[in-house]
Amino acid sequence: MADVSEVLMSVLSTIRVPKPGDRVHKDECALSFSSPESEGGLYVCMNSFLGFGSQYVERHHARAGQRAYLHITRTRKAKKEDDNNSGSGHPPKKKPTRLAIGIEGGFDVEQEHYEEDYKVVIFPERQEVTSEDLGAMPDVVKERVSLSMAGIIAADSVSHALQVQQWDGEVRQESRFAADLKQLDNGVKIPPSGWRCEVCGLQENLWMNLTDGKVLCGRRYFDGSGGNNHALLYFQETGYPLAVKLGTITPDGADVYSYDEDDMVLDSKLPEHLSHFGIDMMTMEKTERTMTELEIAVNQRVGEWEVIQESGTTLRPLFGPGLTGMKNLGNSCYLNSVMQVLFTVPDFVSKYVSNMDKIMDEAPSDPTQDFKIQVAKLGYGLSSGDYSKPAPDPGDENAAAEHKDYQIGIAPRMFKALVGRGHPEFSTNRQQDAQEFLLHFINMVERNCRSGPNPSEAFRFLVEEKIVCQQSRKAKYTQRVDYIIQLPVPMDQAINTDELQEAERRRENGDSTATPVRAQIPFAVCMAALSEPELLTDFWSSAVQTKTTATKTTRFASFPDHLVIQIKKFTFGLDWVPKKLDVSIDVPDTLDLSALRALGQQPGEELLPEVAPPPLMTPDVEVKAPVLDDSTVSQLCDMGFPLEACRKAVYYTGNTGIDSAMNWLMGHIDDPDFSAPLVLPGCSGGTTPTMESISEEHLATIVSMGFSREQATKALRATSNTLERAVDWIFSHLDDLESMEVSEGGRSAAESEAAREPPPGPCVRDGPGKYELFAFISHMGTSTMCGHYVCHIKKDQQWVIFNDQKVCASEKPPKDLGYLYFYRRVAE
């Protein structure tokens, strides 16, 4: 052992003992889904505590220069017979009585039993050192190596911390404001739908203040999505502490946030506080089963659960490349379904799987925190077939029968932790909306593909909105980027209305034998509802210089390579209870949207003028600059828009308020001079105020994120030198920033900016509007916040169902019950 002892002595300075806060990756390879149970085991670097499978440890040694690794192998133990087994040999099944995991009354979390073996391996020689070998080595070597081994073995692995071991929702505390909350008698009554932020008009992520009923948007998330912080700003202005999130109110409670306590809280008087504003659903009688009992029992429902999962048929398990299952990490089926579909899209496979070796060669020192690495790791895991193998025999006859169709699959723990980091919803273990996650992931891809191919372009398309003023008959055209078509579900157009009414009558009469009837809605009716003109009742017309009515028509300005359609099944009843529409829609296998192609301005059609309101006149008839509403300008700036764009919006809409200014901004956001200074009639220059010098500290912070100094300067100038707003702004203007040229030596940033051409519009693909269906994601349950997701994907003309770790040939794909549908262009 003298040679090994000398080698260990030479690398002793690189061997660390884990300290509190160190991230120890001892259950999963940073670059693959290898684990201690995999062939070859897992090698944990004794310096960085990163884990590597046998196929990547040599690469890490060569790049990082580390030599000492703790090699962990894990072998499954045979299960012992349970003393409480019934006479039949099967353990008695305890029915869960609580919607929780790993606690009394909840769902059991079966702990696997393993035998583990540890040894130190020195690279590149691959010399092995066991604990027994250390006993014969010098004390200084024995002590350091033993402490490092013990520390790694005892440490909680990162994946273990992320894994669901015990879950009972969030434990929230009673707010100290709830008992004595003062509510204003201002006559405000809140309707069950149609809410908008009273400042910016946003229609999602809305919170109602429980003091005065003000409806405002929530916080802006780190990625620029979410709200515009108006509910928070309102608290800072008024001190009214509690708000309830609209859309989360059920007979069992709601999401209540205390701005003063800066946390989600309980409000024991919530029914009383809601009824003050006309929301009396909290006093409704519950059904004979609680919501929790309904969610637990929903697996036994005869209906969409059995149909969507094809439970009534014997499904043939499939294995091989592109047929890899994914473990459910506790309500992560929404993520599993979305990623399975995305990695059948050639753009994502080409970007992340085909370039796997190049991506791995460029891996940073900590690949667990690198977006490109973790997406490539997931894509390769799904595509390669390396993990598409039958799961090992669990060791008892009953479990073997239940799990015979399951795969080893992959557990996307690192990926889920990375893409959810900092997000208030996707960082939790609660069920989420698959459509919201799809858009969140696309947004992350956009941010991380500022150079090189961008696979999200496969879904990106332009929407043309045509607004016609009903008074002047003049039109305005605007374009915006989108990724998903949202199809409304007109329930009044069901083709089996008589059956539905009869079923409802029998249900009201207490007929327990009545068979549930599902509304049948033609797909053509949904498309017609999308394409029909929408009436705008509060439109400010620049032609008549006042508010009037208008119609808005939406069409495709481009057709993407891959089209995503969302069926808007989730809504609210008149009693405020969130509900899911139980509908069957005859979604076609092929789709021709050519008739919805935008035509642009028509011959003889007049456009609404970009006319400013009449200038203010003084007695000497001298033209003066108009007085702009500073509060409206400030509110628009707080949303992240450039100061000069906000000034122009207020000017060109004649100080008529935030709504019309927002409409102007959204209609001109792609203009080349969007952020240029406001030039008044009769003036030769802009009116931009002199700004203070840009903060070097703010510049350095943004440059450290991978942007150029010129790009950082532009963001800070556009947001009055405010770092937080500049970061939001920069991620919402990536297309503009990508077109900025780095200034050549000797030229100032201003000269470079003046010299370059106007930035191009968003990069979109276009082609025929003919498509074929290749995948769909289905949801089972009463709302997006509970239930289960699966996806069906067409592979080699065969429909395949991906239900977490089960991958099988589909016998009866329930195409009429889907939630998200994925089409690809058909080549003509």
Contact between residue 339 and residue 381 where contact means Cβ atoms under 8 Å apart? no
Q: Is 222 annotated as a binding residue?
A: yes
Q: Is 733 annotated as a binding residue?
A: no
Q: Is 821 annotated as a binding residue?
A: no
Q: Is 334 annotated as a binding residue?
A: no
Angle between helices 139-154 and 2-11 (to 10 degrees): 70
The SS3 assignment for 793 reads strand
For residues 93-110, b (16+ Cβ closer than 10 Å) or e, as one string? Answer: eeebeebbbeeeebbeee
Q: Nearest CA to 377 among 32, 37, 673?
A: 32
Alpha carbon of residue 583 to chain centroid: 25
Distance CA 367, CA 370 (A): 5
Distance CA 596, CA 328 (A): 40
Distance CA 16, CA 780 (A): 48
Q: Is 220 annotated as a binding residue?
A: yes
Active site residues: 333, 788
Q: Is 449 annotated as a binding residue?
A: no
Q: Which amino acid would we find at residue 575?
A: D
Count of Cβ atoms closer than 10 Å to residue 424 Cβ: 14
Tell me the three-class secondary structure of 674-686, residue by residue. CCCCCCCCCCCCC
Contact between residue 550 and residue 536 where contact means Cβ atoms under 8 Å apart? yes
Q: Is 259 annotated as a binding residue?
A: yes
Q: Is 221 annotated as a binding residue?
A: yes
Contacts of residue 257, Cβ cutoff 8 Å, sequence gap at least 6: 207, 242, 243, 244, 245, 263, 264, 265
Q: Please, what's the largest Cα pairwise distance for the chain?
A: 105
End-to-end CA distance of the chain: 72
Q: Is 647 annotated as a binding residue?
A: no
* Token pair of 611 as six digits: 């006319």
Distance CA 76, CA 90 (A): 21
Distance CA 465, CA 469 (A): 13
The angle at the Cα of 402, spanning 332 to 390, to the nearest 5 degrees, equals 75
Contact between residue 25 and residue 161 where contact means Cβ atoms under 8 Å apart? no
Count of Cβ atoms closer than 10 Å to residue 245 Cβ: 17
Q: Is 262 annotated as a binding residue?
A: yes
Q: Nearest CA to 348 among 318, 382, 387, 321?
A: 382
Distance CA 389, CA 407 (A): 5
Specify which residues 406 forms β-bridges with.
806
Distance CA 436, CA 709 (A): 33
Residue count (the chain) = 828
Dihedral sign (CA 288, 291, 292, 296): positive
For strands 256-258 and 562-567, give the pairing.
Answer: unpaired
Specify the long-range contacts of residues 186-194, CB closer than 8 Å, at least 24 apart: 186/212, 186/213, 188/212, 188/213, 188/277, 189/213, 189/277, 189/278, 190/215, 190/246, 190/277, 190/278, 190/279, 192/572, 192/573, 192/574, 192/575, 192/576, 193/571, 193/572
Our separate counts of H helices and E strands in the chain read 26, 27
* Token pair of 292 as six digits: 């929790």
Cite the annotated binding site for Zn(2+) by residue number.
197, 200, 217, 230
Cite the annotated binding site by residue number.
197, 200, 207, 217, 219-222, 230, 257, 259, 262
Cite the annotated binding site for substrate by residue number.
207, 219-222, 257, 259, 262
